[in-house]
Amino acid sequence: MSGRDNFFFVLAILLGCIALWRTTQGQFAAPDAEPVFVATNDFELTQHSALEVSYGTFTEPSVPSTSVLSNSNLIRGRQVYAVNCLHCHGSDGQAQTPTAALLNPPPTNLFMGTVRDVETVLRYGIPSTAMSSFAALSDDDYNDVRDYALYLVERGTAWKVLTESSDE
């Protein structure tokens, strides 16, 4: 073999090793972006600003002091959500994704504020549906993504209250 061949041989082995090592490093963060809010009228636009004052944005969430959630890990929870849940439940929790369109029953709209028991659902999944158990996540990931799911539910409830208050 010439020196040049040797070089490519070693390079190939090196790349192989890096690829193997990568498979042991867990998942890449999925690309994530703040969903675009489209207001249907001026009232919604005003209320949406009010919502963001209390609850931040989807990608940089926060909660008001009246919330039962402690907000310290929600941004991390969002990152775990982006990797594990977003493709079914959507960037804004409303489950309007290409994956969701293929599922029967469809993923729950977490933004509607009508969720049964996030803890049980995450731990055991929902039998006979695409909702699997996430008990295999690390404790940190599990706790943070659970709180982020609860955040989506709480944010959805707050949005309902804000937009129903002076309807009609």
The distance of closest approach from Cβ of residue 95 to ligand HEC in the complex, given in angstroms and rounded to an integer, is 8
Q: What is the dihedral of CA 113, 118, 122, 128, to 10 degrees?
A: -70
The residues, any chain, with a CB within 8 Å of residue 6's CB and separated by 6 or more, are: none
CB under 6 A: which stretch of 15-23, 31-39, 58-66, 107-115 binds ligand HEC?
107-115
| Cβ distance to ligand HEC smaller for residue 6 or 132 | 132
Candidate residues 23, 25, 66, 116; the one interacting with ligand HEC per rule CB under 6 A: 116
Identify the burial level of 104 via C-beta atoms within 10 angstroms of its C-beta, where 0-12 means exposed, 13-18 middle and 19 or more buried. exposed
Size, binding site for ligand HEC by CB under 6 A: 20
Asked if residue 77 lies in contact with residue 145, where contact means CB atoms within 8 angstroms, the answer is yes
Candidate residues 51, 63, 121, 158; the one interacting with ligand HEC per rule CB under 6 A: 121
83 part of the interface to ligand HEC, by CB under 6 A: no
Evaluated on CA atoms 46, 47, 48, 54, the torsion sign reads: positive
126 part of the interface to ligand HEC, by CB under 6 A: yes
DSSP three-state, residue 130: coil
- Judged by the rule CB under 6 A, the positions of this chain that interact with ligand HEC are 84-85, 88-89, 103, 105, 107-108, 115-116, 118, 121-122, 126, 129-131, 134, 145, 149
